[in-house]
Structure 1
Amino acid sequence: MDPQYIPLWMFLVLLFGIFSGFPLAYVLLGSGFLFGYLGWGTAVFDQMVARTLGIMMNDALVAVSLFIFMGYLMDRSRIAEGLFHTLQLALGPLRGSLAIVTVLLCTILAATTGIVGTSVTMMGLLALPVMLKRGYDVPLATGSIIAGGTLGILIPPSVMLILYGPMAGLSIARLFTAAILPGLLLSGLYLAYIAAQCFFRPQMGQALPKEERDIPWSRLFVLLLKTLFPPLFLILAVLGSILFGLAAPTEAAAVGVVGAGALCLAYGRMNWETLKDVVYRTLQTSAMILVITVGANIFTGVFLALGGGTSIENALLKTVLTPYSFLAVVMVLILFLGMFVDWIAIILIMIPIISPIVKKIGFDPIWFAILVCVNLQVSYLSPPFAYSIFYLKGVAPPEVELKQIYKGVVPFMILQLAGLILCILFPDIVLWLPGLVYG
């Protein structure tokens, strides 16, 4: 085989393996080994060992397991239930208050869990039955849960950002800082859309009846302190320690685990069965992510060493006339791939290949990273393989049809793309806070 065509065949075999339904980790490891052997012979074994050791020695990836552990502990603490009830009382006079509370609660959960599946499932069990009982428009109710739940992919402590950092050679702390305002921007767009829809079309979501929210302000204030303060304190402890340079992401994740465990104890949810279940789920999720990471690292190492990166760079720079046309091509490609391929594969395979091109063109790599992550957030809502849709369908009542969920996510996909365009047109949305914190 002509060596110059090996990178092309690598991508074709990779796509064939993915669409054939083989586990992603095995596809990456197998194709990396096969083409590495064709290119180097038995020397590929040394490269595989070196690449695997490189992943094992990367202490930043320890934060992945710790933040996943923290997220599962927060899930089992059931703190979301009390907070949902309290915010429902506080915002009850507003039309669409239940959907608004759902997005607000998802925003808070995103900053304490970073796990999309957990947030969507939790809110599907907690908020969806209440909204359906109140006569909310089904697409609006399901769309608000799915869109709000996917904020965990962007708002730190995001597992996506932790994986992106080492792949592009970027500081995880800076990525966390840069993602805060875009995450809040998307949350604000969702809230504005829900409020506008329910204001002009009251039948989509009525306000809470006065008799059900008749509570003294003093009592409401106490409830807010009791339910809102613990998660906000945990967010401040974890993200604040990173933003102010008091701890690296790994150490901050350890603080988060201790804090989430303390909340479980305080709410009476911690016991041996809970701990065993949380540890098992953490090991299961972490192992899946890290095995894929090893496979992707071997695949991209072979691909780049065989000249694949140079081939792609030359092709893009010859055919794309301007930096922003390159950006448009990459964003459209990621948006398309996100509909069919897991975001982990996209991050671990594409980012090491295109990051050098981004630097050569002159784009700020932190800004570009957040654009990619906002774009990939759309993939959680994009049919046909929208993970969040199926997370919600799995816990939704039988009367909620899949087509209603699909209908509900479309407006929020448009809002996500609008948020992406705003971040492109106004880079300071991404770069202002890192510049303020780190100079």
Structure 2
Amino acid sequence: MELLFLLLLVLIMAGALGSGYPVAFALPGAAIISIGLAAGAGWIFAGSTDAYFHTGGPQQWLSAGVTNLRGIYWEVERDTLIAIPLFIFMGIMLQRSKIAEDLLVTMARLFGPVPGGLGISVVFVGALLAATTGIVGATVVAMGLISLPAMLRNNYSTPLATGTIAASGTLGQIIPPSIVLIILADQLASAADQASSMRKALHKEATGELSMPSTFDVSGTSAGEMFLGAFIPGLVLVGLYMLYILVFAILRPKSAPAVRYEGAINLRFWVDALLTLVPPLALIFVVLGSILTGIATVNQAGAIGAAGALLMAGYRLPEKGSRRLFVPVLVGLVGLVIIGFALAYYPMNVKAMSTASDRIGIALGVVGTLLLLASLIWSGVRAMRLQNTLQQVMLETAKTTSLVFIILLGAAMLTAAFRAFGGEDLVREFLTGLPGGFWTQFLIVMLVIFLLGFFLDFIEIAVVVVPIVAPILLADPGANITAVWLGVMIGLNLQTSFLTPPFGFALFYLRGVAPAVVRTVQIYKGVIPFIALQIVALIIVGANPPMVNYLPNRTSLLSETGPPPRNPKLQLCLEDYVGQKLAESSRVQDAVSAAKMLDLSTLPRDLERDLSGAFESAEEALAEHARITDAVAAVEEAAVDYRPKLHVVRKIERDIRKLREEADELKTTLSRMRGEANPDRRANLEADIAALEAEIEAMRSRIPSDWTEVHDAFAALTKAEDLARLSYRRAADSSFQAPAEVLAVLKANEAYAALEGPLNDIRSVFETGEGEEAITTIEALEDRVGEVEGTRDVRSALSGARRDLDRGQREDALEGYGEALEEYQAQLQWRGDAAALIPGIEAYLDATRGTLGIRVQERLTREQALALASCTSEHRDVSLNF
């Protein structure tokens, strides 16, 4: 019955959408109707409204959607969707202010002389509009109205012209900042949390261990990471489009002729071109650059983009030649320059303001802020007075934003209903039961999303389909994909579906504005090569995960808040990096050998012991790293035979778990039946349980008899690798810490020698000093002594003497003071003798800092961060640990 109501849910939703009923109401309506029918049928036929639900009851599932939406989107930390209205405002403002039209005209003039230049300019402007608007319909319509007549007038092939415009218009799906990427990031963040729980449960079932190492965990994503991840794939797609048009124009010049600009190419031409191109390009650079460099969050970048679009509209909406045309934007630029100057040269902290310089900096910041606000208000007034543009843009922004959030609520309710009837479990069982593992599952999911893209907008697909399938794909330990890679692949796939005949949305948008001479068949024919190019891009990105993962990893590792070298998820790549460095040069080995030759007898016994132990740990670390290499080779060799057996056994065990769950449910039902009532029902249940138990035993017999022995042998190999890595890390850390501490002590010799005078001068305080003043004087000296490395014993003796003096025990205080002086003199002696060790220890530390000592650093160097970003960008198979 659950499957019946699940089918009913899908049919109601499909019927509502097919009839043209608004999506925002079709999704929650289908959920409410199907849950209501299931509750009514359960009450009529089974005496309980909960009878036909997978778990729970109708009240729980009716409120689940609203509760989940509130729990997810009302959290302070989950503010990603705030960026949506900001980017929508930016895109609509640029479109309404005709900046997009200016871009197309200018680029056509610049690229016209190139074979296929008009088509290349359309792709270029499509990419620019994608980076500023992110709205597919608006971009396709704008370019269709402006560039299609020009391309047809210049004898361009109709299929080529329409295909170029439709394909370029859909670039807003994948080129950041994109609304679809923001929504996908939000959905994938929740999916990653679910996938993490699923993988932990899988690890516990496979190994019996209660906790899973964080190295095997699933990482989430954010809108900023999605923007970074989609940047290179978007450029690859633009490059493929341009290359195709260029080759097409060379092979068939009559179908894509060069178009020369008829006007004069003079200074006025270049000035107009710069004024048209530079502001949008600068806005894109600021918005995306602030995100890519980590200067601004996605929300902050959205606010920057909205403000920039308003300033640009302020000088574009008035007629050219108007007086004071550029005054508002120039005022804003002056304000930004003043703010930048103040931030660069003054401490801009109002609470800490104390000096005249501080007050000057704050005053400059206030002036710059007021000028920027004045320019924004001035531009806003212009946009409001001219064609009522500002009101129309804000109204469209409010409508679009409301639509997005209403769909989110409806999708949350639909997803809750889908889970209520066991749909999520059904999908999981179907996907996990497919032969071929992750890639079969992935291809099926991508095909489903591709087909759904014919009928549904990207918002519905992102909020309905992704939460169901993404956790399953992310949880797979064999592929071990990242959430950002999955999101970018889905985004590329959705873009492809927007073009595919006969239902591609971009085709409908273009058909609506194309002249009657352009036939629909020609539009369909024109997009086919671009669909093929998008499939090529999908294959390229799918086969090369670093194209997506590298930029997010690079930005994270190079940022001020980047993870420290001890981060568990970095250790495998860190050890690979160290291995490469050790293989490139013998510098580390030579430095360790030279360090062991140092005469450490001038040091105190404890420091001598620590230093010699560190040099021995360095030798041990080098040996353990070699053991890691051997252990990894042994695991990889054994994995060739072990992996197929593992997959077979894990599939059998998964099937056994399903049967065990069914048997347990039947046993629970049987245990609730009282007395002799329903003897036939009891007999049927007992027979079903017996059949399931027999099937379970039959499945267990299919597990190879030598599986335990094979598994234990392979587990011993992986344990040996883990032990080698653990031993290496301990030895490597020990090899660097003690020498660094000793070097810091010896380098402080000059500061240490400077303490002699103050220590001798304070004798009078111990001899005759009284009260709080004497104690304060001694404490000040203690603090000064404590600032010098290696003075713990001197300071300890001084502190003890001060406490005795505070208790009125002057003789004991003088005795303690004498001990402090003795300790100081003894240390002064060996510090001077050991100063000769400084060059040798420095050479050792310099040689080992980037290898054995890398984990002791507070943060990674640029070279190390880039190497690790490249390494962690690959998807590493961890299924052998499950």
TM-score of the pair, normalised by structure 1: 0.94
Match of 2:392 in 1: 277
1:402 Cα offset (Å): 1.4
Do residues 99 (structure 1) and 119 (structure 2) align?
yes
1:114 Cα offset (Å): 0.4
Match of 2:404 in 1: 289
Secondary structure of 1:208's partner?
Answer: coil
Match of 2:788 in 1: none
Match of 1:120 in 2: 140
Q: Which amino acid aligns with 1:360?
A: A
Secondary structure of 1:42's partner?
Answer: helix
C-alpha distance in 1, partners of 2:85/2:456? 23
C-alpha distance in 2, partners of 1:415/1:396? 23
Aligned pairs for 1:311-350 (under 5 A) are 311-350=426-465
Distance 1:242 1:208, change over 3 A: same
Match of 1:29 in 2: 28
Do residues 146 (structure 1) and 166 (structure 2) align?
yes
Do residues 303 (structure 1) and 418 (structure 2) align?
yes
Does structure 2 retain, via aligned residues, the 8 Å contact 1:84–1:105?
A: yes
Does structure 2 retain, via aligned residues, the 8 Å contact 1:51–1:294?
A: no
CA deviation string 1:92-140 (max 9, x = no partner): 2211111110110110110000001111111111111111111111111
Does structure 1 retain, via aligned residues, the 8 Å contact 2:185–2:222?
A: yes
Deviates more, 1:101-110 or 1:159-168: 159-168
Do residues 247 (structure 1) and 296 (structure 2) align?
yes
Deviates more, 1:263-272 or 1:278-287: 263-272
Do residues 359 (structure 1) and 474 (structure 2) align?
yes
1:341 Cα offset (Å): 2.5
1:213 Cα offset (Å): 6.2
Q: Which amino acid aligns with 1:232?
A: L
Deviates more, 1:145-154 or 1:278-287: 278-287
1:163 Cα offset (Å): 0.9
Match of 1:200 in 2: 251
Does structure 1 retain, via aligned residues, the 8 Å contact 2:488–2:548?
A: yes
1:54 Cα offset (Å): 3.7
Deviates more, 1:352-361 or 1:241-250: 241-250
Does structure 2 retain, via aligned residues, the 8 Å contact 1:99–1:194?
A: yes
CA deviation string 1:309-332 (max 9, x = no partner): 222112210123321111111111
Q: Which amino acid aligns with 1:19?
A: G
Distance 1:417 1:26, change over 3 A: same
Match of 1:129 in 2: 149
Match of 2:276 in 1: 227
C-alpha distance in 2, partners of 1:4/1:122? 46
Structure 1 alignment gaps of length 5 or more? none
CA deviation string 1:118-165 (max 9, x = no partner): 111111111111111111111111111110010001111111111111
Do residues 175 (structure 1) and 226 (structure 2) align?
yes
Q: Which amino acid aligns with 1:432?
A: Y
Do residues 10 (structure 1) and 9 (structure 2) align?
yes
Does structure 1 retain, via aligned residues, the 8 Å contact 2:112–2:259?
A: yes
Q: Which amino acid aligns with 1:41?
A: P
C-alpha distance in 1, partners of 2:155/2:86? 40
Match of 1:75 in 2: 95
Do residues 438 (structure 1) and 573 (structure 2) align?
no
Number of aligned residue pairs? 436
CA RMSD of aligned residues (A): 2.0
Does structure 2 retain, via aligned residues, the 8 Å contact 1:86–1:220?
A: no
Do residues 257 (structure 1) and 375 (structure 2) align?
no
Distance 1:328 1:382, change over 3 A: same
C-alpha distance in 2, partners of 1:358/1:240? 31
CA deviation string 1:28-53 (max 9, x = no partner): 11122234453423344543442343
Does structure 2 retain, via aligned residues, the 8 Å contact 1:92–1:213?
A: no
Deviates more, 1:240-249 or 1:252-261: 240-249
C-alpha distance in 2, partners of 1:122/1:410? 22
Match of 1:212 in 2: 262
Give the greater-gyration-radius structure (CA): 2
Match of 2:561 in 1: none
The answer to which structure, 1 or 2, has the higher relative contact order (CA under 8 A, 6+ apart) is 1
Match of 1:60 in 2: 80
Q: Which amino acid aligns with 1:318?
A: G
Q: Percent identity?
A: 39
Does structure 1 retain, via aligned residues, the 8 Å contact 2:104–2:143?
A: no
TM-score of the pair, normalised by structure 2: 0.48
